[in-house]
Structure 1
Amino acid sequence: MIRTLPVAALMAGLASMASAQQASDVVATVNGTEITLGEMIITRSQLPQQYQQLPPETLFQGILDQLVQQQVLADTLEDTPVRVELALQNQRRSLLAGEAINSMMGEEVSEEEIQAAYDEAFADAEATQEFNASHILVETEEEAQAVMERLEASEDFAEIAKEVSTDPGSGAQGGSLGWFAEGMMVEPFQNAVAELEKGETTETPVETQFGFHIIRLDDTRSQKPPALEEVRDDLASQIQQSKIEERLVELESEAEVARPEEGAFDPALLTDLGLLEEGN
Structure 2
Amino acid sequence: MNMTLFPDVVVNGETISSAAVAAEAQNHTGPRDKPGIAWRKAAQALAIRALLLQEAKRRGLSPDPLELGPNRFETEDEALIRALLDEALAIAPVTEAAVRAEWEKAPDRYRSAPLWDVSHILCACDPRDEAGRAQAEARARALLARLDGDAKGFAAAARESDCGSKAAGGHLGQLGPGDTVPEFEAALRTLAEGAITPAPVLSRHGWHIIRLNAIAPGQVLPYHAVRSRIAQALEKAAWASASRDFVETLARGARITGASLAPI
**Shorter-chain TM-score: which interval?**
0.3 to 0.5
TM-score, normalised on structure 2? 0.42
Compare the two structures and name the one with the higher helix fraction: 1
Give the TM-score normalised by the residue count of structure 1: 0.40
* Structure of greater Rg: 1
**Structure with the larger RCO, 1 or 2 (CA within 8 Å, 6+ apart):** 2
